[in-house]
Amino acid sequence: MRGDILVPMRVIGMMSGTSVDAIDVAVCELARDPQAHADGLLLRLVAYREQPFPSRLQRRVLNLLREQSTPLADLTELNFLLGDAFADAVLETLCTEGIGADEVDLVASHGQTIYHLMEPSRRPSTLQLGEAAVIARKVGVTTVADFRVADVAAGGEGAPLASFLDVLLSSSPDRTRALQNIGGIANVTFIPAGSGVDRAYAFDIGPGNALIDYGARHFSGGRAHFDRDGAMARAGYADTELLESVLRHPYFSRRPPKTTGRELFGDEFAAELIARAASRNLSPEDTMATLTALTAETIAAAYRDFGPPRVDELVVSGGGAHNPALLDRLRAALPDACIRLYDDFGLPGEAKEAVLFALLGYEALHGRPANLPSCTGAAAPAILGKVTPGANYRPLMERIATDIRGNASMATQTLRVLR
């Protein structure tokens, strides 16, 4: 432990995104920043691991998301099976890193999104599964989970939540930045130069890798789960006419704040697009190039339609940052923005969301709000997450009681990453 960390807390952040590719586990240390005022935080990423999704469970989740219906017994069981898988991912990480569970203060788990219901005619709602009681029991550590619902209860979209970390870590006095995450779905936080938590705004742009992954599975007969290094897309040409017709989908012209998911841009959407490509005699490579171009072009269109007048830097994170075909197309579509990798900000781009949930768990425990109303559309800031006590609950509460800091306002919050 470094000398400049005061009373550090070890928090494990865990994320499983819409790609259902892996369970991302980030072991973090968080503490008050002795060089800042009472609201300053220090964060250090101690270890990061992507635990491949157990393949039977992955198939079950993907089938459920595709079919959009399931017997209630299966749904009930899935909640606990996901809890088991998340707990196992934590235990594997601790074992690999040689860290004892008794050295961990908190687990913060996003869970697996099963449905994100933001249709105008329905009660806004969202469901993430992965029973926290199972995690708390198996790991033996107090667990915070279910972060999105408090924002939805406050009238927000429940997403994107990454904006909190984006603003704390990546705002600049003189450069306007777009923090672009490309997971299964693509989402952006725009941070105008000199702005803090109040002027940043964010939304889900549309498909990230979800359609590309579907295409890769489809054309490989299920052997490949994604288009590694964009190899297939690079071997083909995008079909401009098909692309333009898909870009007319009403979601893309809807004003933010807005969020979406696999409910809209999932397997059904991908299958229909591939069928249209086939009827236009596109080769598998041309189809993959078109799906890849769609992600880049929807991002570029969202910047033009809803972004600040000028974006100096586009900072990419998520698995899509590893797809050069996607980045090339993005660079061509947004020639004025300098494309940077999130890694420049001191955290590996793929670890960003797991680290985010470690931070959100820490904030939940300290009773501090962590949603940005200007990003999610919530009526007010909200403390996110639900606490499930584990074996360490009493000593943890005693510690928090002596460590409660600041004035529960996000306006003065700062964050420094120790490398």
Q: Which residues bind Mg ion (CB under 5 A)?
A: 17, 19, 21
CB-based closest residue to ligand ADP? 319
- Identify what 322 binds: Mg ion, ligand ADP, none; CB under 5 to 8 Å per kind: ligand ADP
Piece of 259-267, 319-327, 334-342, 380-388 that binds ligand ADP (CB under 6 A): 319-327
Q: Shortest Cβ distance from residue 399 to Mg ion (Å)? A: 32
297 contributes a contact to ligand ADP by CB under 6 A: no
- Identify what 320 binds: Mg ion, ligand ADP, none; CB under 5 to 8 Å per kind: ligand ADP
Among 5, 21, 159, 376, binds ligand ADP (CB under 6 A): 21
Q: In terms of CB distance, is 112 or 142 closer to ligand ADP? A: 112
Q: Shortest Cβ distance from residue 53 to ligand ADP (Å)? A: 9
Contacts to ligand ADP from residues 154-183, by CB under 6 A: 183
369 contributes a contact to ligand ADP by CB under 6 A: no
215 contributes a contact to ligand ADP by CB under 6 A: no
Q: In terms of CB distance, is 21 or 297 closer to ligand ADP? A: 21
8 contributes a contact to ligand ADP by CB under 6 A: no
Show the 3-state SS of the chain.
Answer: CCCCCEEEEEEEEEEECCCCCEEEEEEEEEEECCCCCCCEEEEEEEEEEEEECCHHHHHHHHHHHHHCCCCHHHHHHHHHHHHHHHHHHHHHHHHHHCCCHHHCCEEEEEEEEEEEECCCCCCCEEEEECCHHHHHHHHCCCEEECCHHHHHHCCCCCCCCCHHHHHHHHCCCCCCEEEEEECCEEEEEEECCCCCCCCCEEEEEEECCHHHHHHHHHHCCCCCCCCHHHHHHHCCCCCHHHHHHHHCCHHHHCCCCCCCCCCCCCHHHHHHHHHHHHHCCCCHHHHHHHHHHHHHHHHHHHHHHHCCCCCCEEEEECHHHHCHHHHHHHHHHCCCCEEEEHHHHCCCHHHHHHHHHHHHHHHHHCCCCCCCHHHHCCCCCCCCCEEECCCCHHHHHHHHHHHCCCCCCCCCCEEEEEC
- Identify what 318 binds: ligand ADP, Mg ion, none; CB under 5 to 8 Å per kind: ligand ADP
Longest dimension (CA), the chain: 67
- Identify what 60 binds: ligand ADP, Mg ion, none; CB under 5 to 8 Å per kind: none
Among 29, 146, 213, 239, binds ligand ADP (CB under 6 A): 213
Piece of 161-169, 237-245, 320-328, 373-381 that binds ligand ADP (CB under 6 A): 320-328
- Identify what 323 binds: ligand ADP, Mg ion, none; CB under 5 to 8 Å per kind: ligand ADP
Q: Shortest Cβ distance from residue 319 to Mg ion (Å)? A: 6
Amino acid at 388: T
Q: In terms of CB distance, is 39 or 213 closer to ligand ADP? A: 213
Q: Shortest Cβ distance from residue 209 to ligand ADP (Å)? A: 3
Among 93, 112, 180, 209, binds ligand ADP (CB under 6 A): 209
187 contributes a contact to ligand ADP by CB under 6 A: no
322 contributes a contact to ligand ADP by CB under 6 A: yes
Q: In terms of CB distance, is 41 or 233 closer to ligand ADP? A: 233
Contacts to ligand ADP from residues 70-99, by CB under 6 A: none
For the stretch 301-306, contacts whose Cβ atoms lie closer than 8 Å and that sit 24 or more positions apart, written own/partner, are 301/247, 301/252, 302/188, 302/203, 302/205, 302/206, 302/252, 303/178, 303/188, 303/334, 303/337, 305/253, 306/203, 306/255, 306/256
Q: Shortest Cβ distance from residue 49 to ligand ADP (Å)? A: 13
261 contributes a contact to ligand ADP by CB under 6 A: no
**Location of structure tokens 């923005």:** 337
Q: Which tokens go with 267?
A: 């397997």
Residue ranges in contact with ligand ADP by CB under 6 A: 17-19, 21, 183-184, 209, 212-213, 226-230, 318-320, 322-323, 353
